[in-house]
Amino acid sequence: MSLIQDLQKRSGNVCELCGADHNLSVYEVPPISTGGVDGSLLVCDTCKSQIENPETMDANHWRCLNDSMWSEFSAVNVVAWRMLNRLKKEGWPQDLLDMMYLDDEELRFAKESGDHLDESEKIIHRDANGAILQAGDTVVLIKDLKVKGSSMVAKQGTAVRRISLDRENAKYIEGKVGATQIVIITDYVKKMSEKE
């Protein structure tokens, strides 16, 4: 079975967040660590566009999280937690957050988006040109970098896919170069656009 077929079967062919039964597609929860069924959910166009474009959020649409936050699937719980945190200024989402339970690993993954932080608390990662980096982005090294603790040199021009961000330090990101997971200073990378 394909990923979309697995998710359709799991969800009963409805949006796993709001229950809509039309315009459904796969949403891979960023930063994509597992992908596949465990790291994805089936969502409608309305939910997907509001997740990806926070400025278009309609708070009343997300009252559906009152039900979906109890899902048995981690990916659904993580996205529900993130959306409730984005909306907590509305009042009612805070009550749901107070009732919600995520295990330690789910909570760590949910916090990787930074949705639980106020704008003033968010650490913003920028590449050498000042472009904002987000978890899951692809970057290119702009100079050769010696990898500490090994004899490896990551060469200029190497693409590092699906980066993760250090939530404590705006200068650090992580990603894989070959099979090695390394920490990279943001001053030495350039964000790749989707066209590149």
pLDDT of amino acid 26: 93
pLDDT of amino acid 37: 85
Q: Are residues 99 and 130 in the same domain?
A: no
> What's the pLDDT tens digit per position in 83-132?
998 898 888 988 998 999 999 888 888 887 666 555 555 677 889 888 88
pTM of the predicted model, to two decimals? 0.60
Q: How far, in Å, CA of 76 to CA of 10, rounded?
A: 12
Q: How far, in Å, CA of 42 to CA of 25, rounded?
A: 6
pLDDT of amino acid 60: 92
Q: What is the CATH number of the domain that holds 181?
A: 2.30.30.40
Q: Are residues 88 and 146 in the same domain?
A: no
Q: Are residues 79 and 143 in the same domain?
A: no
Range of the domain at 158: 123-191
Q: Are residues 80 and 133 in the same domain?
A: no
Q: Are 166 and 130 in contact (CB under 8 A)?
A: no
Q: Are residues 165 and 103 in the same domain?
A: no
pLDDT of amino acid 31: 73
Q: Which of 67, 84, 111 is the last residue of a domain?
A: 111
Q: Count the domains in the chain.
A: 2
H/E element, 44: strand 40-44
Tokens of 167: 């939530």
Q: Are residues 101 and 163 in the same domain?
A: no
Instruction: Examine residue 196 and state whether it is found in any structural domain, yes or no.
Output: no
> What's the pLDDT tens digit per position in 24-68?
999 988 876 566 888 899 999 999 999 988 888 899 999 999 999
Q: Which of 78, 111, 144 is the last residue of a domain?
A: 111
Q: Are residues 72 and 157 in the same domain?
A: no
Q: Which of 90, 111, 132 is the last residue of a domain?
A: 111
Q: Are residues 152 and 102 in the same domain?
A: no
Instruction: Examine residue 118 and state whether it is found in any structural domain, yes or no.
Output: no
